[in-house]
Amino acid sequence: MKRRELVLGLGAALALPGALAARGADLVVGQVAPLSGVLASTGAQMVLGGRIWFDHVNATGGIHGRAIKHLVVDDGYKVDETVRLTRELLDKPEVVALFGFAGTANVGKLLAEGVLAQGGAALVAPYTGGENLRDPFNPWIFHVRAGYADETEHMVQQATTLGLKRIAVMYQEDGFGQAGLEGVKKALAKRNLALSVAAPYERNTDKVEDAVRRVKASDAQAVIMISVNKSTAAFVRQYREAGGGAQLYNISVVDPAEIVKIAGLKNAHGLGISQVVPYPYVPTLPAVREYQTLLKKYAPDAQVNYTSFEEFLGAKVLVEGLKRAGPNATRAGVVQALESLANFDLGGVNVGYAPRNRIGSRYVEVTVIGNSGKLLK
């Protein structure tokens, strides 16, 4: 895979008075994101959400007079590339923190190989809810979102409340999929229910034919998918076209617009998707109003999106940590500053960290793709 490296978020800073740059070197934030491959559309939204906040901060004076330099590299959602590129970023002494990585298996490999511990830098707002990244405790990852166990519990609760007791799981065969699968099993066990079937598919593909066959044969009343955009869309289309009538749910890491585009509205209509941040389409919260305003200003052609909003909130967390770390921020100083955010208000959305807590929020709700293709609460 050819590596692509982008420097984002500096456009606004370059237009600032020269005094900003003169007061200190840039604060470099490194991001490894899937800008190619099966998760490319999600990766683009992840980068965008962070960029619009970083651009805003730079345009309003930076942090202690220093601009944020947002350095982004593409891992194609490949675990080994995530590890290699993260090592390269952490080899740069000017990188003070990491931001917005994707993939339970990808980030899990960083922990397993000690990459984050060796680099000593905080990773803020990774786009994953994998429980193995939360338990056992590690000091390096600051989660903004709820975990997959929280999401699957919520979906199982909703399904069983509707009287649906035969529940199947379609899952990606890796750490991400296993985390979600275990979450569903635990939620069912609490209710003295057993899983109808567990149907895996191969990572980085949309080859879900066998999963469709197995789920259809199980006669499940509900299917919880632990999958990404293309595989989710392929399953929804094939399952519905095969006559499958179960209520379908998916974990939060998918883009509903992408699913509708690939699967077709007829098939995607009614799909439930768990969400780990508040509804970003109606500006009822200050954070949503701020996000929508900055999206129009810095990315006027972009659409409101859960993923970009989540990473926008993550960028606000990171920026507050950079501010509290002082004029001469270090990696260790940023870690200490972030864990001081005991009850931090992002604009009607609160997160909280502590020396022994890195899970900022456990917020979960379920949305549904409506008959127009838009998400409904």
Find the mean pLDDT for residues 162-170: 97
Residue with the larger pLDDT of the pair 5 and 39: 39
Dihedral sign (CA 290, 293, 298, 302): positive
Residue 118 pLDDT exceeds 60: yes
Residue 264 pLDDT exceeds 70: yes
Residue 21 pLDDT exceeds 50: no
Residue 1 pLDDT exceeds 70: no
Can you list the alpha helix ranges (DSSP code H) found in the chain? 11-14, 18-22, 40-59, 79-90, 104-112, 115-119, 148-161, 175-190, 209-218, 229-241, 256-263, 265-268, 286-298, 306-324, 331-338
d(CA 30, CA 95): 6
Q: What is the pLDDT of residue 24?
A: 64
Q: How confident is the model at residue 362 (pLDDT cuts 50, 70, 90)?
A: very high
- First-to-last alpha carbon distance for the chain, in angstroms, is 39
Q: What is the pLDDT of residues 72-116, one digit of tens each?
A: 999 999 999 999 999 999 999 999 999 999 999 999 999 999 999
Residue type, 72: V
Find the mean pLDDT for residues 269-279: 97
Determine what percent of the chain is predicted with pLDDT higher than 70: 94
d(CA 138, CA 23): 35
Q: What is the pLDDT of residue 135?
A: 93
- Architecture label for domain 148-275: 3-Layer(aba) Sandwich (3.40)
Domain ranges for the chain? 5-147+283-351, 148-275
**Encoded tokens for 370:** 């409506």
d(CA 2, CA 239): 35
The reply to whether 148-275 shares the fold of 5-147+283-351 is: yes
The CATH number that domain 5-147+283-351 falls under is 3.40.50.2300
Residue with the larger pLDDT of the pair 296 and 16: 296
Q: What is the pLDDT of residue 17?
A: 33
d(CA 159, CA 153): 10
In degrees and rounded to multiples of 5, residue 248 shows phi and psi of -105, 140
Q: What is the pLDDT of residue 38?
A: 87
In 227-317, the DSSP E strands lie at 247-250, 272-275
| pTM of the model as a whole | 0.89
Q: What is the pLDDT of residues 100-112, one digit of tens each?
A: 999 999 999 999 9
Mean pLDDT of the chain: 93
Q: How confident is the model at residue 4 (pLDDT cuts 50, 70, 90)?
A: very low
Nearest to 141 by CA among 167, 120, 158, 156: 120
Residue type, 17: P
Q: How confident is the model at residue 22 (pLDDT cuts 50, 70, 90)?
A: very low
d(CA 128, CA 220): 27
Q: What is the pLDDT of residues 175-204, one digit of tens each?
A: 999 999 999 999 999 999 999 999 999 998
Q: What is the pLDDT of residues 32-59, one digit of tens each?
A: 999 999 899 999 999 999 999 999 999 9
